[in-house]
Structure 1
Amino acid sequence: MTYKTTKENIDWQQVSDILRRSGLSDHTVKEQETIFTNSYAVVFVYHKETLVGVGRALSDGVCQAAIYNIALEEEFQGNGTGKKLINLLLDQVKGQNVILYTHPRTVALYEKMGFRRSKTAMCIYSGSEESRSFMEREGFLLPEKYRFVDEYGREDMMR
């Protein structure tokens, strides 16, 4: 495997294809180029000449970062390639607090790498009603007004 952490000479069609096959994004090739080019940190994983994995992070470069769009072709999963991809992103944002946005099915994988779930992460989702329903069904979004068990009855949660 070859890992690249620069944005030059990238086949953006391959990036778009991997993200689409992974079910993570259906943005156009040009949009993916903009998304990754504007990201603070990137990792592209190659098997021979073929792009097989991608990942990116947004950051202020000092104290806060967020990891997105981790995608790895299925045949390369489970052999440490994804872990190395994540570690290369983490190296690029070393010393910063990192939020990871992932699919609910991969939470346990990231917990093994030291990530912890957060009760206080919030989001405003700007997708269509159809894509929002998908996000709710898949478990990306908790139901509106959802409260964790230890929050019931707390006055500050009633507002």
Structure 2
Amino acid sequence: MTYELQAQTPSVADFRRLREVAGLSTKTQEAAERGLKGTLFAAVILCEGRTVAMGRVIGDGGCHYQIVDMAVEPEHQGRGLGKRIFAALMDWLHENAPKSAYVSLIADGDARHLYAKYGFEPVMPASIGMAQWIGGRPAKGT
């Protein structure tokens, strides 16, 4: 298999599919369409023309950035694709974000080990992440 990393925002269909198959919360068509327009930078990995991995940077473009939507199709996991996506996002941040920028992310499970290699550290107990879902907590992907 040949993998190709591209700096581009995933399509709405690929975004929704990858979130679901990777076990992330599902997003409605409307939410995905609106949300993807707010992407500051994104990277995808293609395998034979099909998007099999993604990650995005969102934020205000100056003070605050967040890494979101890190997802790899299960059958392509364990091949370093998440690392390649994350490296591309971090390269972009180091080239484009000002020195005082705050970059955050939510680390699911063992992904925290990858993020720690790039200098991310837990913020507890000084801070704790909190969330609210409009319309109720969405279902996780299958």
TM-score by structure 2 length? 0.76
Q: Distance in 2 between matches of 1:64 and 1:48?
A: 35
The number of residues matched between the two structures is: 132
**CA deviation digits over 1:41-96, x for unaligned, max 9?**
11121112111011111233234311111001122222221111011111222154
Larger Rg: 1
Q: Aligned partners of 1:11, 1:35: CA distance in 2, in Å?
A: 11
Alignment of 1:87-126 (within 5 A): 87-94=87-94, 95=97, 96-119=101-124, 120-126=126-132
C-alpha deviation, 1:25, in angstroms: 2.5
- Whole-Å Cα distance in 2 between the matches of residues 100 and 19 of structure 1? 16
Q: Which runs of 5+ in 2 are unaligned?
A: none
State the match for 1:44 in structure 2.
Answer: 44
Share of identical aligned residues, percent?
22
Q: 1:53 to 1:47 in 2, by over 3 A?
A: same
Give the structure, 1 or 2, with the largest relative contact order (CA under 8 Å, sep 6 or more).
2
Corresponding residue SS for 2:66: strand
Q: 1-side partners of 2:54 and 2:68: how far apart?
A: 10
Aligned residues of 2:22 and 2:73 also touching (Cα < 8 A)? yes
Calculate the TM-score normalised by the size of structure 1. Answer: 0.69
Q: What is the CA–CA distance in structure 1 between the aligned matches of 2:7 and 2:73, rounded to whole Å?
A: 18
Per residue, is there more helix in 1 or in 2? 1
CA RMSD in angstroms, aligned pairs only: 2.7
Instruction: Find the aligned partners of 2:40 and 2:128 in 1 and give their Cα distance.
Output: 22
- Counterpart of 1:154 in structure 2 is none
Unmatched segments (≥5 aa) in structure 1:
135-159
